[in-house]
Chains A and B, each alone.
Chain A
Amino acid sequence: MTPTDDDALDSRLARALGPDADDTAPLSRAVLNRLARPDATKRTSLAEVLAEPLPAAGLMLGLLFLAGGLGYALSPPDFDEVTALMQLLGPGF
């Protein structure tokens, strides 16, 4: 393949990917509007973090702590190794 063929393929690819991408007015308007808002980038980053895996991870951690807390609260207060052994070996011990 010659460089001309390569250039033709590259041009075809660029055209195919965005026939109307050359109109930058909407993009420019959108970016400048977002810049006009106070702290646009900071809020966007925070929103990204909050909207993505954090809620699911937080819920899972919360459930884990809840289960742990419930288990601790419902367990007998003086259940130590000796008590556990006696229960395992039975009353004849």
Chain B
Amino acid sequence: MAALAIGDRQAMARLIRRHGPGLRRFLAGTLASPHEAEDLAQETFLRVWAAAARYDPDKAAPATWIYRIALRLAIDRNRRTGFRRFLGLDAAPEPKDDRPGTETDLAARQELALTRRALASLPDRQRRALLLRAVAGMTNADIAATLGISAGAVEQLLVRARAALRVKTKGEWG
């Protein structure tokens, strides 16, 4: 973070390599329009770059700080998407996949659709906690710091989220 604050772009590239994959998956599971995940991941890293000088390592771990920024952006984007859909300005079409439709791709797409439906059925807090654990690999303490709740509450959210997800995926998952 100190390197980012002095404008080191190589440090930014390293940060993206480290947190980019998890962040994209987190946003894909959090956003009402998952195809916006890439765009919002870019926006998150730009915000991180702009605010790096204000980062305080005593207050939060880098991952916690980055995901908190991403979460705020995602909540804001979902609110606006909801408003635009309410006004009829945004029909939220699923992005078209132009890749050749091999069986592997088809299976992956079906699994992605199943995952999104199952995640969408979870309450917001359960979904966020589960995503932070599953895709960002955070500990309960880090999730608690990111979501602003206690570690005990995180454990409860995770238990409920996993149980609900197992029901929704009808045992297809572990």
Q: A interface vs B, CB < 8 Å?
A: 1, 5-6, 8-14, 16-19, 21-22, 24, 26-28, 30-32, 34-35, 40-41, 44, 52-53
Contact = CB atoms under 8 A, between A and B. Distances in A.
A16 B29 CA distance: 10
A83 B89 CA distance: 49
A13 B135 contact: yes
Nearest to B43: A44
B21 A11 contact: no
A30 B39 CA distance: 9
Nearest to B19: A24
A18 B134 contact: no
B50 A41 contact: yes
B107 to A, nearest CB: 10
Contacts of B133: 10
Nearest to B46: A41
Given A1-B162, A17-B25, A31 B12 contact: yes
B46 A27 contact: no
Contacts of A1: 162-163, 166
Nearest to B115: A16
B165 interface: yes
A27 B112 contact: no
A31 B14 CA distance: 12
A92 B162 CA distance: 83
Q: 4 nearest interchain CB pairs? A: A8-B174, A10-B134, A24-B20, A16-B115
Given A9-B165, A16-B115, A17-B115, A52 B80 contact: yes
A11 B25 CA distance: 12
A44 B50 CA distance: 12
A25 to B, nearest CB: 9
